Amino acid sequence: MEGAARESFDVAVVGGGPAGMMSAIFAAGEGARVLVLEQLDECGRKLRATGGGRCNLTNTRDRAAFLAAFGDKRRFVRPAVAAFDGAALRAFFDARGVPTASPDGVHVFPVSDSARSINDALLIALAERGVVLRTGAKAARITVEEGAVRGVVTADGAIAARAVVLAAGGKSYPGLGGTGSGFELAAALGHAIVTPVPALVGLVVEEEWFGACAGIALPNAAVRVALPHGARRAGEVLFTHRGISGPAALDLSGAIATLLLAGPSVPIALDLMPGVSREEWGRRFEEWRKTSGRKRVASMLSAALPHALAERIVSVAELDKEATCAHITRESRDRLAALMTALPLTVKATEGFEKAMVTRGGVALDGVDARTLASRTARGLFFAGEVLDIDGPCGGYNLQWAFASGRLAGLGAARLRAASDIDARGG
């Protein structure tokens, strides 16, 4: 290892977020001497902000449904989650005096409704297991000799370690530590990096009329990428001054951000009332013509939609705002029906990493063993959490992945140390 190491540990964990802290807890639980390096002045700052400070740490969906939410990455996610699922995570925190609950039967929060209680439990567990926390310490380089990890270099010097867990997070919320430094550390060791883009983030649209609807929430809507084989997500949609947010939009934002790498815009379509088909809307408009001919179209639509949105839909359909049901043509009724089921919008950007909850992209999975989260490039290097090219939808998926992957990586790092001890003794 270049330069004399000022300290020596069995395992060095780069990153003091949920994945890093969990890695350290489980590695220390195996008897390893563990150091955590966190570039901010405290651990878990982003964790304490998650879920609006409430911390939706997992959910109650069964394993098959949980894994399916990760799409084509589910096979990679499976080993970590199978070994430490939502029930195991809840038991972990319950044993540490932080009971959890699922108010809606799906999403799981600490009973305290405070993310700080989760973070505090992790910090106490670290202290109990003798983990050394070093804040304000940024890893500049992971040292490797003869294909094996030898330690970490910081501004204060070299630290020897038999294994390193890289849990430095992604690029989301840079003010809370998301600098993407983990990608640079991994790339320097030969790992391919899938271009990072913001995910679980609001979408910015080109249409100027949209701003008039800011603040409107549709609890049951759907968003579709209006391209061949485009994905679709149903759920709440929130209209903002610049575009749309809410779970249905957020869950598609990573895919849309990736598409924006290849072009200036991405077409999407909103189904304002899923379950009501275009044909059914046509029948309703015809019925309105017969039974409510004197009433304004916008007023009738306001029974199904917020008034401001109903007014804008009438405008987009190129109808006079005072148009009555009796006087709109069949062509106009067809346009309205099409807008209700596929309101076209043009996404020109996302709200960026500054507002993204997670990062899509990161360390390419083909360079990592899913069974242990060990690097296929450098012996003794492990990965956990958002630094990997894994991201899930809203609803506790990403934190569950952080905790489960942290545990798996920490165990792998500690057991590598134990195996090295046996080899050194000639066992």
Q: How sure is the predictor about 418, in pLDDT bands with cuts at 50, 70 and 90? A: low
Same domain, 409 and 370: yes
Mean pLDDT of 61-75: 96
- pTM beyond 0.85: the answer is yes
Q: How sure is the predictor about 371, in pLDDT bands with cuts at 50, 70 and 90? A: very high
At residue 178, the pLDDT reads 73
**Does 2 fall in a domain?**
no
Mean pLDDT of 255-272: 97
Locus of tokens 């050394």: 132
Same domain, 285 and 383: no
Please spell the DSSP secondary structure of 57-81, one letter per residue. Answer: -EE---HHHHHHTTGGGHHHHHHHH
- Residue 81 is part of a domain; what is its CATH number? 3.50.50.60
Mean pLDDT of 56-75: 97
Final residue of a structural domain among 351, 375, 404: 351
Same domain, 24 and 69: yes
For residue 125, is pLDDT > 80? yes
Mean residue pLDDT of the chain comes to 93
Distance CA(143)–CA(91), nearest Å, equals 37
Q: How sure is the predictor about 422, in pLDDT bands with cuts at 50, 70 and 90? A: very low
For residue 52, is pLDDT > 70? yes
Same domain, 249 and 101: no
Locus of tokens 């809507």: 221
Final residue of a structural domain among 291, 326, 351: 351
Same domain, 193 and 116: yes
At residue 209, the pLDDT reads 87
At residue 53, the pLDDT reads 85
Please give the share of the chain, as a percent, with pLDDT higher than 70. 96
Same domain, 298 and 364: no
Same domain, 62 and 141: yes
For residue 321, is pLDDT > 90? no
Mean pLDDT of 198-218: 93
For residue 6, is pLDDT > 80? no
Same domain, 317 and 374: no
Q: Per residue in 246-255, pLDDT tens?
A: 999 999 999 9
Q: How sure is the predictor about 1, in pLDDT bands with cuts at 50, 70 and 90? A: very low
Locus of tokens 């501004």: 155
Q: How sure is the predictor about 377, in pLDDT bands with cuts at 50, 70 and 90? A: very high
What DSSP character marks residue 327?
A: G
Same domain, 228 and 284: yes
Its domain, for residue 41, covers 7-197+356-425
Structural domain count of the chain: 2
Q: Which residue type is seen at 405?
A: S
At residue 425, the pLDDT reads 45
**Does 1 fall in a domain?**
no
Same domain, 170 and 22: yes
Which of 227, 223, 235 is closest to 271 using CA atoms? Answer: 223
Same domain, 129 and 253: no
Mean pLDDT of 355-359: 94
Final residue of a structural domain among 301, 328, 351: 351
Query: Alpha-carbon Rg of the chain, whole angstroms?
Result: 25
